[in-house]
Amino acid sequence: MDNAFVVVDIGAVRMAVPVAEVVQGIATPARLDVLPRRGAAAGAGAIIGLFNHLGQPLALLDLALWVKLGDDDAPRRYRRALIVRADGHTVAIAVDAVRGLHRIGADSITRISHDIDQNEIFHSVARCTGIDGVVNVLDVRRLMALAMTWSGDEAGAREASAVAAPRFCAATHVTAAYAVVAGSGCGIGFALGDLREV
């Protein structure tokens, strides 16, 4: 039985993502906001910015910050973003081009890496009709666990990780007032109840 994958190019790497985990391919957003993070060593080190997609903020990941995608180490300028979702969690991946939908037979997928290192997001490759060489199959669930950054289902997020959701991510039907302070290239929101003086 054949499986459907979306195939994309990122640098010298061709990547296949199961179509069931792909939401949409879009042009790279013109505006990216900053998500200030302390530790680049954490999964958040791959975040290159946030953007608004249909009213929802999404993080954009650059996989080149985690794995080597070719001989060129210079920062890349991506033309597209692939929005992926797994277990109610949604994130975007910066890519160079979307090659479209391809059917890949189950017997054409080969697991190459047999370690159990949860920091690796590629372990299998596939042969794809019409494409020379192999395509690397992205493990989207490992990507989500490694990035620890997503938009979406908070209940699913709590089940996927043993870490409790922050108190400001309470039920989505609750609204709260925030003060927004302009920073250098970003805005920082403070709950009004926590703000004493400006």
pLDDT digits (tens, 9 = 90+) for 83-109: 999 999 999 999 999 998 998 888 888
3-state SS, one letter per residue, for the chain = CEEEEEEEEECCEEEEEEHHHEEEEEECCCCCECCCCCCCCCHHHHEEEEEEECCEEEEEECHHHCCCCCCCCCCCCCCEEEEEEECCEEEEEEECEEEEEEEEEHHHEEECCCCCCCCCCEEEEEECCCCCCEEEEECHHHHHHHHCCCEECHHHHHHHCCCCCCHHHCCCCCCCCEEEEECCCCEEEEEHHHCCCC
Interval 109-121: pLDDT, tens: 888 877 777 777 8
pTM: 0.71
Q: Which residues contact 13 (CB under 8 A, 6 or more apart)?
A: 69, 70, 136
Contact 91, 151 (CB under 8 A): yes
The amino acid at 69: L
List the end-to-end C-alpha distance of the chain, in Å, as a whole number: 62
Tell me the pLDDT band of 188, cut-offs 50, 70 and 90: low
Could you tell me which residue, 189 or 8, shows the higher pLDDT? 8
